[in-house]
Structure formats: C-alpha cells, structure tokens
Amino acid sequence: MNFPIVSLDKIEREAKKAAEAGHSLNFACSYPFDERSGQHFKKVFNDHRAALLVRRLQQQSEGAQ
C-alpha cells in the first residue's frame, strides 16, 4: 500500500501533541508501525512522553520542598 510522503517535522508535531494530550500510542499514530514514518512517530512519542513525565516529577519535587 502506498502512502503519501510526510515530513519528519509533521510527524514529530503530531507525536508530541498526542503525547501531551495523554493519548495511547495505538490511538494516536496513524502511520503503519512497520514503516519508517510509524517507527519515527513511535520514537518521538515515547521520548516526549518520558520527558513530560520527568518534568512533572521535577515540578512535584520542587513543590514539595
């Protein structure tokens, strides 16, 4: 199946927005996971979600001091 070419910037924006919204990866990703676009989305999504968690934990620990 052929899909249109999508820029990495667009994939990254979508992945970050989905991570910030708290969506699951399966719900958020509209790209096939066996293609580079889906793999890139997954990496950016997971990395951004982890960064958001770290930031949230840092803010909580700063607030507890």
pLDDT tens for the 65 residues of the chain, in order = 676 789 999 999 999 999 999 999 999 999 999 999 999 999 999 999 999 999 999 988 887 76
Distances (CA, A) of 58 to 18, 42, 48: 21, 24, 15
User: Is residue 44, in this structure, part of any structural domain at all?
Assistant: no
User: Is residue 49, in this structure, part of any structural domain at all?
Assistant: no
User: Is residue 25, in this structure, part of any structural domain at all?
Assistant: yes
Q: Among candidates 49, 26, 50, which has minimal Cα distance to 38?
A: 26
Q: What is the pTM of this model?
A: 0.86
Domain extent at residue 15: 9-39
User: Is residue 21, in this structure, part of any structural domain at all?
Assistant: yes
Query: Domains in the chain: how many in total?
Result: 1
